[in-house]
């Protein structure tokens, strides 16, 4: 179903076609709410009724929504028009080039079987490596100069501390001190790797305005999980913490190893600088652990 110029898909007005492929047609469109150009990929109506193809379309949307990379468009919205599903990608400046690049990257994303819930982030991280390799190959082919490495440090985690052992169900507090030298810090990313389980989906903690230029506080993780009432003694995990500003700059990641062991007493005193003044709670880490020995 070709869409004519001026056709409205909710707030999006079709401007011109960009291309077509086996999974649908792509159009340049105008987001009339935000006054910006976007690209809309429409899955034909006869394909929307095919459960297998519709599942592939939804998998593509999930894959795009988890990617943040300068060589791939951002997924802004999904919707349906007269029985046909669509994705809204953008905003775009070089629409033709970006669409072709996205098509190649989504082809990469669809390699292999569907991702399981807890294996998904590991697969996304592997995909980001493929994206970087592909972008580098494109740059070599067209003679683009590689971008200079960023020598600035827009966000710095200056100090950090967390206990390394505790009982299952303990309230684990991760202390961090962060300084932003440029844009405001808007969120903290928490990433957990567990042997035998893999990497859990990243959890983001949004920061309140008072903590967006400088913060010294703790993240709280109530480690008792709704998915299991027991973890094997000695179960280990690694928590990675990074800070992100509104320009999407990231600090270097800081890692905290932890082992679940019974009989461990809570830390009585904190090291400097967390032993001074009022230390606020910045937010909660909402990751539910899984016992690999008992299945999911």
CA distance 105 to 103: 6
Domain ranges of the chain: 8-142, 155-294
Secondary structure element (H or E) that encloses residue 216, with its range? strand 214-222
Structural contact between residues 150 and 254, judged by C-beta atoms closer than 8 angstroms:
no
CA distance 267 to 258: 14
Distance of CA 243 to the CA centre of its chain: 13
Predicted local distance difference test score (pLDDT) of residue 105: 42
Distance of CA 41 to the CA centre of its chain: 22
Structural contact between residues 168 and 223, judged by C-beta atoms closer than 8 angstroms:
yes
Architecture of domain 8-142 in CATH?
2-Layer Sandwich (3.30)
CA distance 153 to 225: 36
CA distance 16 to 9: 13
Apex 295 CA angle, 285 and 56, nearest 5: 80
Q: How is residue 49 written in tokens? A: 């009724």
Architecture of domain 155-294 in CATH?
Sandwich (2.60)
Predicted local distance difference test score (pLDDT) of residue 73: 59
Residue 53, classed as helix, strand or coil, is helix
* pLDDT profile of the chain (296 residues), mean per 10: 86 84 76 85 72 69 59 71 78 44 42 37 46 48 45 78 93 93 87 88 90 93 89 92 88 93 80 90 93 67
Torsion from C-alpha of 20, 26, 27, 32, nearest 10 degrees: 170
Predicted local distance difference test score (pLDDT) of residue 153: 56
């Amino acid at each position: 179903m070709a869409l004519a110029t001026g056709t409205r898909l909710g707030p999006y007005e079709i401007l011109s076609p960009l291309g077509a492929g086996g999974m649908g047609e792509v159009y340049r469109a105008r987001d009339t709410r935000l006054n910006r150009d976007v690209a809309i990929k429409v899955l034909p109506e006869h394909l929307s009724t095919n459960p297998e193809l519709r599942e592939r379309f939804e998998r593509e949307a999930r894959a795009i929504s988890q990617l943040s990379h300068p060589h791939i468009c951002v997924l802004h919205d999904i919707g349906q028009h007269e029985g046909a599903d669509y994705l809204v990608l953008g905003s775009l400046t070089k629409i033709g080039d970006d669409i072709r690049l996205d098509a190649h990257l989504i082809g990469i994303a669809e390699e292999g079987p569907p991702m399981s819930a807890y294996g998904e982030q590991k697969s996304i991280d592997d995909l980001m490596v493929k994206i970087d390799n592909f972008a580098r190959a494109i740059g070599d082919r067209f003679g683009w100069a590689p971008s200079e490495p960023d020598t600035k440090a827009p966000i710095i985690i200056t100090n950090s501390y967390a206990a390394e052992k505790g009982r299952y169900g303990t309230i684990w507090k991760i202390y961090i001190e962060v300084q932003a030298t440029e844009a405001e810090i808007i969120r903290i990313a928490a990433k957990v790797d567990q042997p035998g389980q893999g990497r859990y989906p990243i959890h983001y903690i949004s920061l309140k305005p008072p903590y967006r230029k400088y913060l010294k506080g703790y993240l709280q993780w109530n480690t008792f999980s709704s998915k299991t009432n027991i973890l094997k003694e000695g179960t280990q995990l690694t928590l990675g913490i990074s800070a992100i500003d509104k320009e999407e700059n990231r600090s270097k990641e800081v890692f905290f190893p932890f082992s679940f062991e019974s009989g461990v007493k809570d830390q009585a005193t904190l090291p400097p600088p967390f032993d001074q003044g009022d230390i606020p709670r910045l937010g909660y880490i909402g990751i539910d652990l899984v016992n690999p020995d008992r299945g999911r």
